[in-house]
Amino acid sequence: MSRIIARRNPVVFKTQALQVQASPEVLRYTPVGSPLSFDDMLALRQPIQVDDPDHFELTLANLGVSADITLSWQQREFRLLVRQQRPDRNDEVLKLLSGYVPAHELRLPLLTLMTELAEELLLETGQGWLPGRYQEVWLPSPYADNLPADPHRCFQLSPRQSATQAVMCRELNLLERPRAYVHLPTNSLQLVYHMHLTLPPCKDLSALHADESLDTRSGELIARMDPHKPDLYLAELVDGSATGQLFTLEKGQLVEQQPQQLSLSEAFAPQTGWIVSESNCPWPEGLA
């Protein structure tokens, strides 16, 4: 049964459309136009086409940001995925931890990602919940009132690799060098940061995912998690390649899962130049 871990008044989400200029060497995005509400943004997320995937100029609906996270557990390597139902696309996918970037963080999208990770990546020990750090910076603690922290341990996130092509917001070079792609079906720009998750020694660790939804009766945003449906998955890697095996982590034990009728999100679909044209891709082939 799911557990409510936070109730809060929704912050009014505002973002901006993006003017994007792409060449084979660099992609530059510039926020343009009036602030957009969430509904305004969704209305702009309509399919588009591009003639040249390496060189174009477009106005896109929004900026999204994701974390492609690897980790080690019991001397085995894994990639971290989240299960999500997408009624608007009539599918259910395994995806990266991700979120929409609000207007005030378009120049520093990594800040949005840090908040998303703090809200969605929940790691429980017998002594509490692990706080997290990205390099030398502590992640926020959105559920501190309901999920007491482990007083002795934390998890650590570090940059794993950098894309070869530069991404810029106006004249600011994003030093972390995320992978960037324009997703044609949703008219959006997506940034993917590659990270490694280092876990402390712990024999009873569980990995869970929190999901947030709007309660239409109260108008509150409700964050829930369900220990019986963790929805946070570890896809095993051997020598950097996916084996097709999928696990949850429950009290220190890897529990193999055999999902039915699942796909991978578009983040795993083939990319040509700066362009991804598919809405999803097959599991597990897309992890190859």
Residue 189 lies in a domain: yes
pLDDT exceeds 80 at position 237: yes
Q: Using a CB cutoff of 8 Å and minimum separation of 24, what contacts does 250-255 make?
A: 250/206, 251/204, 251/205, 251/206, 252/202, 252/203, 252/204, 252/205, 252/206, 254/73, 254/74, 254/76
Average pLDDT over residues 40-53: 96
Residue 242 lies in a domain: yes
Would you mind telling me the total number of residues written for the chain in this entry?
288
Residue 81 lies in a domain: yes
Q: Which of 30, 10, 36, 66 is nearest to 223 (CA)?
A: 10
What's the token pair of residue 47?
């399919």
Separation between Cα atoms, residue 256 and residue 253, nearest integer Å: 10
Residue 28 lies in a domain: no
Q: How confident is the model at residue 213 (pLDDT cuts 50, 70, 90)?
A: confident
Single-letter code of the amino acid located at 158? S
pLDDT exceeds 80 at position 259: no
Separation between Cα atoms, residue 50 and residue 46, nearest integer Å: 13
pLDDT for the residue 169: 97
Q: How confident is the model at residue 6 (pLDDT cuts 50, 70, 90)?
A: confident
Number of neighbouring beta carbons within 10 Å of residue 203? 9
Q: Give the CB-side neighbour count of residue 7, counting CA atoms within 13 A.
A: 8
Residue 52 lies in a domain: no
Q: Which of 254, 286, 283, 273 is nearest to 25 (CA)?
A: 273
Do residues 279 and 89 lie in contact, with contact meaning Cβ atoms separated by under 8 Å?
yes
Backbone angles phi, psi at 223, to 5 degrees: -100, 130
Weakest mean pLDDT among 26-30, 76-80, 223-227, 253-257: 223-227
Domains in the chain, number = 1
Average pLDDT over residues 153-162: 93
Domain that holds residue 124: 3-9+63-162+179-287
Residue 170 lies in a domain: no
Q: What mean pLDDT value characterizes the chain?
A: 92
- For strands 91-95 and 76-86, give the pairing: antiparallel
Residue 72 lies in a domain: yes
All residues at 6 or more sequence positions from 161 whose CB lies less than 8 Å from its CB, including other chains: 194
Residue 187 lies in a domain: yes
Cis peptide leading into 102, omega within 30 of 0? no
Residue 62 CA from chain centroid, whole number: 15
pLDDT exceeds 80 at position 98: yes
Separation between Cα atoms, residue 41 and residue 62, nearest integer Å: 7
What's the token pair of residue 89?
């696309």
Number of neighbouring beta carbons within 10 Å of residue 109? 24
- For strands 188-198 and 62-73, give the pairing: parallel
pLDDT exceeds 70 at position 1: no
Average pLDDT over residues 181-186: 97
